[in-house]
Homo-oligomer: A and B are copies of this chain.
């Protein structure tokens, strides 16, 4: 039922869907304020007043787009958190899938991340902050289970691990167009390679481990 809606073919969709698609694309690219309703209408191939026929205001249109992005993200993540494999394997699996989702729907990811990295006051009613909070809480729960099982160190803070996990993934996505050109970076277009490296770091750290076979 859920197909990718990252602004592929606008022509075959009904009016409201074309408007949503165009809005998603433009809001993701430029943010809310820099996109006019006229521009959205043009991209959707309808008149501006037709946009207002379907959506009462620019705010309502934006929230519809953002809400869909958050819902999609939430639906993708929830199944990832089940599983009984060893912690390290699970860490890599979740991390890889999260990246795959973001790169499969980059516009939606960009919309969500712009909301949580901005400077608006926290409002948990808004979908994106709530999504980040729930993501973090779910990861913390995973860390706690792993701690109880003795899989990871008991003295570390699960919230710090969760945040490091989220930071590693989200920052990589957010800076993808820049790090691609960094002379030392060979993982910008290979999420699998990036995941392996980062998971290794998170699991084992950077210090040499004398006497512990790998």
Contacts and interface: CB of A to CB of B under 8 A. Distances in A.
Interface of A: 28-34, 87-88, 110, 113-114, 116-122, 124, 129, 132-133, 136-137, 140, 143, 150-153, 156-164, 166-168, 170-172, 174-175, 177-187, 194, 197-198, 200-212
Given A197-B157, A206-B161, A121 B177 contact: yes
A158 B184 contact: yes
B175 A117 contact: yes
A182 B31 CA distance: 26
A205 B180 CA distance: 26
Contacts of A182: 133, 136-137, 159
Chain A at the B interface: mostly helix, strand, loop or mixed?
helix
A36 B30 CA distance: 17
Given A119-B29, A178-B133, A160 B197 contact: yes
A17 to B, nearest CB: 23
Contacts of A29: 119
Copies of this chain: 2
Given A114-B117, A160-B201, A171-B171, 15 more contacts: A31-B33, A87-B206, A117-B174, A119-B177, A122-B181, A136-B184, A152-B208, A153-B207, A157-B186, A163-B168, A163-B172, A163-B179, A164-B168, A202-B205, A205-B205
Given A31-B31, A177-B122, A203 B205 contact: yes
B159 A184 contact: yes
A163 B156 contact: no
10 smallest beta-carbon distances between A and B, as pairs: A205-B205, A167-B171, A33-B34, A160-B197, A117-B174, A159-B184, A33-B33, A167-B167, A204-B205, A152-B206
B150 A208 contact: yes
Contacts of A113: 117
